[in-house]
Amino acid sequence: MIRDDDLLEQLRAGDDAAFATLVDTYHARLVRLARSIVTSREVAEEVVQETWLAVVRGIDRFEARSSLRTWLFHICINRARTTAGKESRTSPVDPQGPAADSGWFNNDGSWTSTVEPWPELVDDRIMAATLAEQAKHVIEELPPPQRQVVILRDVEGLTSAEVCHLLSITEANQRVLLHRGRTRIRSALNHELGGG
């Protein structure tokens, strides 16, 4: 895999293959992120096309104060928010929404108990695929602010600070949204496993 520094140098030199690599690596991820903000997949695809145009136009001005990935996500989020309009830019946390079970998470948002790896039994692999599909469906059904935070933190692996910066939310708000999103996912998976 090519390093971001090398890729950035190639992009600035106008290397079409480097741009193709960037698109191959990030297009689906950007669509997923845009879809968490806008109303449909078609609109998300348009947002990502606008994101790629902004990258082409702005690559020479990118100062590398953040990672290339974070910069791409930032452009995508801004384009998606503009497209979605002013109403989707501010989504207050619903105080009546389900709160995270205090026993599930530590203060830093990590799980209190470690996830045990499943043995390599065929039935377990089939169940894992079913649960992964269920988790994907639950993520798609989360309220947009929770969906955005879960995608950025748990799917894309961004840090809490990066997510707060990208979404312009406080650390406390990010924690609440992450916990509520994870709680809904975990509850759905527990239900799938027969745990109620």
Residue-level pLDDT at 167: 92
Q: CATH no. for residue 66?
A: 1.10.1740.10
Domain range holding 127?
122-192
CATH number of residue 168's parent domain: 1.10.10.10
pLDDT value for 129: 77
Q: Residue 86 is encoded by which pair of tokens?
A: 């002013």
Residue 95 within any structural domain of the chain: no
Tokens 């910066």 label which residue? 165
First-to-last alpha carbon distance for the chain, in angstroms, is: 43
Q: Does the residue 98 lie in any domain?
A: no
Query: In this structure, is residue 153 part of a structural domain?
Result: yes
pLDDT (0 to 100) of residue 74:
94
CB 118, CB 124: distance < 8 Å? yes
Q: What is the dihedral of CA 67, 136, 20, 160, to 10 degrees?
A: 0
In a domain, 179, yes or no: yes
Establish if 97 belongs to a structural domain.
no
Number of domains in the chain: 2
Neighbours of 69 (CB within 10 A): 17
C-alpha span between 155 and 161 (Å, rounded):
16
Going residue by residue through the chain, which has 196 residues, state the pLDDT in tens, using 9 for 90 and above.
Answer: 567 778 888 888 888 998 999 999 999 999 999 999 988 889 999 999 999 999 999 998 988 888 889 999 999 999 999 988 744 444 444 544 555 555 666 666 666 766 555 555 556 666 677 788 888 889 989 999 999 999 999 999 999 999 999 999 999 999 999 999 999 988 888 877 766 5
Query: pLDDT at position 107, please?
Result: 66
Q: What pLDDT does residue 4 have? A: 74
Indicate the residue among 63, 88, 113 that finishes a domain.
88
